[in-house]
Amino acid sequence: MGLAVSKEIVRPFKVLRNWAYEDAVSLLREYKAKDYDFGIDADSVTNLLQTIRPDLPDSIGSQMVGYFSKTHNGFLNSLSLVLGIAFFCL
């Protein structure tokens, strides 16, 4: 139990597999420093993530919103995003 991934990790989460814990901490600091809203849209997600990893595609925000948004209203819970990324960190 816990020795292998039991499900295939789908895009856009594959790009998070090589994030280090320090990246997640930097993401949280950036989120707090820029005073982002609790619910953030795709553009905000892209800006936030590209601050830490500039090589991420411009579509990363809309992909994340698509996976994390329960109501499909174009926003996601920023806490879900940060914790989700921390989950994938090495």
Query: Distance of CA 12 to CAs 3, 28, 58, Å?
Result: 23, 19, 12
pLDDT of residue 87: 79
Please report where in the chains the tokens 């989120």 appear, as a residue.
31
pLDDT of residue 42: 93
Q: For residue 12, is the peptide bond before it cis, meaning its omega torsion is within 30 degrees of 0?
A: yes
- Measure the CA–CA gap between 24 and 21, rounded to whole angstroms: 5
pLDDT of residue 69: 76
Per-residue pLDDT of the chain (90 residues; tens, 9 = 90+): 455 555 555 566 777 777 888 988 998 899 889 888 888 999 999 999 999 989 989 999 998 888 877 777 889 888 888 888 887 776
pLDDT of residue 12: 66
